């Protein structure tokens, strides 16, 4: 196949020295299978997307900094009839964390969330009261990589309220209780390829931090997926990641149940290097979906 692996023009800005180069790992594997693979920047208007047999989103890591432009690109692909993996409609839905509301209404257990609307004032006391917590995580509704993410006690939130109010002038945010399981056990990521479970990792933050991203010092350990978490994640992927080449279900084990933090369907790191069979599963899923 002739494959476009979609990336961004500022990849180095979003990467870090301790990030495995998953794009190159995947490219080498697909080329070894006989495919022609080219990295293509999503925002480059000169790319002829119709010239490819498969257009695969991999690392458009700047989309959340240019989300309206990204939406316009998705609309262009849709108008041209380009088949994007993952599908355009799914990607658009997944770009704004309000998708969690849809999932909650469908019965998925998510981290309790208080939505902070653009152009409103950040009222620390009312947010803490609404969530019944002593520690709060605040982040944009469209974001990635822990951008503009805050871990706050009430005194800290009161002190930083003007800063958060200024950020709310530009976009929606959400607030959630800090999940202590992240520091005591870690955050689970279950990765699916072609709708089928592939592999699992457990992510833990460095000492004194709450962010589990590996480029921020978090630790990644391959693990067997706990049966009870796997069952819930399987159902989530069946219900919300239809026709997706890849999906990553992120959550914590809260009293024996998966508490969903994110369903990642746009540009997640897939930890392909953590499982010896993951690249084969990826290429097989891509071949199946391209043949449909």
Please report which residue ranges of 193-292 form alpha helices under DSSP H.
227-240, 278-291
Strand 246-254 relative to strand 187-193: parallel, antiparallel, unpaired? antiparallel
Rounded to an integer, what distance in angstroms lies between the CA atom of residue 83 and that of residue 100?
A: 25
pLDDT over 70 percentage in the chain: 92
Interaxial angle between packed helices 88-95 and 67-80, expressed in degrees from 0 to 180 and rounded to the nearest 10: 170
- Whole-angstrom CA distances from 49 to 55, 57, 80, 266 are 7, 12, 9, 18
Query: Residue 144's pLDDT is what?
Result: 80
Q: Does domain 2-95 correspond to CATH entry 1.10.3210.10?
A: no
244 pLDDT tier (thresholds 50, 70, 90) = very high
For residues 182, 19, 264, 6, the Cα torsion angle rounded to the nearest 10 degrees is: 170
Query: Residue 7's pLDDT is what?
Result: 95
Query: Residue 18's pLDDT is what?
Result: 47
Query: Residue 212's pLDDT is what?
Result: 44
CB distance 171 to 142 below 8 Å: yes
Superfamily of domain 99-109+181-277: ATP-grasp fold, B domain (3.30.470.20)
CATH class of 114-177: alpha beta
pLDDT tens profile 13-67: 666 544 558 999 999 999 999 999 999 999 999 999 999 999 999 999 999 999 9
**Any idea where the domains of the chain sit in the sequence?**
2-95, 99-109+181-277, 114-177
Starting at the edge strand that comes first in sequence, how are the strands of the sheet with 135-140 ordered? 114-116, 173-177, 135-140, 150-153
Report which of 94, 76, 78 is spatially closest to residue 236, judged by C-alpha positions: 94
3 state SS of 195: coil
CB distance 271 to 189 below 8 Å: yes
Query: Residue 207's pLDDT is what?
Result: 53
Rounded to an integer, what distance in angstroms lies between the CA atom of residue 258 and that of residue 232?
A: 7
Rounded to an integer, what distance in angstroms lies between the CA atom of residue 59 and that of residue 39?
A: 10
pLDDT tens profile 270-285: 999 999 999 999 999 9
Phi-psi region of 81 (alpha: psi -120 to 50; beta: other; left: phi over 0): left
Rounded to an integer, what distance in angstroms lies between the CA atom of residue 172 and that of residue 96?
A: 9
pTM for this one? 0.92
Query: Residue 179's pLDDT is what?
Result: 87
* Matching fold, domains 99-109+181-277 and 114-177: no
């Amino acid at each position: 196949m002739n494959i476009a692996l979609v990336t961004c023009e500022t990849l180095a800005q979003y990467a870090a020295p301790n990030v495995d180069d998953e794009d190159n790992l995947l490219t080498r594997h697909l080329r070894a299978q006989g495919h022609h693979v080219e990295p293509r920047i999503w925002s480059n208007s000169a790319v002829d997307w119709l010239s490819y047999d498969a257009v695969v989103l991999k690392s458009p890591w700047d989309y959340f900094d240019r989300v309206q432009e990204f939406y316009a690109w998705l609309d262009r692909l849709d108008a041209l009839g380009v088949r994007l993996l993952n599908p355009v409609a799914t990607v658009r839905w997944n770009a704004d964390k309000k998708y969690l509301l849809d999932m909650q209404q469908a019965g998925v257990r998510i981290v309790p969330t208080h939505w902070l609307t653009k152009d409103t004032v950040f009222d620390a006391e009312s947010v803490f009261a609404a969530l019944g917590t002593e520690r709060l995580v605040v982040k944009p509704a469209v974001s990635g990589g822990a951008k503009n993410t805050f871990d706050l006690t009430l005194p800290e939130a009161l002190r930083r309220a003007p800063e958060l109010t200024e950020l709310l002038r530009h976009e929606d945010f959400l607030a959630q209780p800090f999940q202590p399981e992240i520091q005591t056990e870690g955050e689970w990521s279950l990765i699916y390829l072609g709708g089928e479970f592939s592999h699992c990792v457990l992510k833990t933050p460095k000492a004194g931090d709450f962010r589990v991203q590996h480029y921020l010092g978090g630790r990644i350990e391959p693990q067997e997926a706990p049966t009870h978490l796997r069952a819930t994640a399987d159902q989530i992927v069946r219900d919300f990641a239809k026709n997706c080449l890849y999906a990553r279900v992120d959550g914590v084990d809260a009293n024996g149940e998966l508490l969903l933090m994110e369903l990642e369907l746009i540009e997640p790191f897939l930890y392909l290097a953590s499982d010896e069979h993951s690249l084969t599963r990826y290429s097989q899923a891509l071949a199946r979906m391209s043949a449909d």
